Amino acid sequence: MRQVIALECPTVAISQDEREFFVALGARIAQLRRDSHITQVQLAQTLGISQSTVNAYELGHRRVPVSTLPLLARTLGVSVEELIGADSVQERKRGRTPKLMQHMERINALPKTQQKFVMQMIEMALAQAATQAAAR
């Protein structure tokens, strides 16, 4: 006769406030991701997780690890404070991160080979603009 041993993972209960926080965080992640024209697959690759995990974060079904928040915020072009929905005095004074900074932070989150490619494209565009300006 075969004996089956069931191993249970402990379930951690969370309060209703915590549940609401993670649902709201997931909604912010989804909106910021869409605003940045990033797919769930692309975000998952950047974070080193699966697309289904990103989907679970966005639906509020899984907690986003604290260690993931800085990279997630950089990738989405916002501060950690803005990502988690906290008001920051500095953010209120400055407003949203300028579009160029958002792009630079997203480029910084890419793998080094992709960063090199983007930099080459930028350098080509700048060189072309300088040549056109000199010809005027």
pLDDT digits (tens, 9 = 90+) for 50-70: 999 999 999 999 999 999 999
Predicted local distance difference test score (pLDDT) of residue 92 = 46
Q: Which domain holds residue 31?
A: 16-135
Q: What is the CATH number of the domain that holds 97?
A: 1.10.260.40
Domain annotation covers residue 110 = yes
Predicted local distance difference test score (pLDDT) of residue 6 = 46
Domain annotation covers residue 8 = no
> In total, how many domains does the chain have?
1
Predicted local distance difference test score (pLDDT) of residue 98 = 76
Domain annotation covers residue 29 = yes
pLDDT interval class at 90 (50, 70, 90): very low
Domain annotation covers residue 52 = yes
Query: Are the beta carbons of 71 and 29 closer than 8 angstroms?
Result: no
Entry pTM: 0.57
* pLDDT tens digits along 21-34: 999 999 999 999 99
Q: Which residues contact 120 (CB under 8 A, 6 or more apart)?
A: none
Domain annotation covers residue 7 = no
Question: What is the rounded CA–CA span in Å between residue 58 and residue 31?
Answer: 9
Domain annotation covers residue 30 = yes
Domain annotation covers residue 36 = yes
Domain annotation covers residue 10 = no
Question: What is the rounded CA–CA span in Å between residue 16 and residue 21?
Answer: 9
pLDDT interval class at 115 (50, 70, 90): confident
Helix (H, G, I), strand (E, B) or coil at 48: coil
Predicted local distance difference test score (pLDDT) of residue 3 = 57
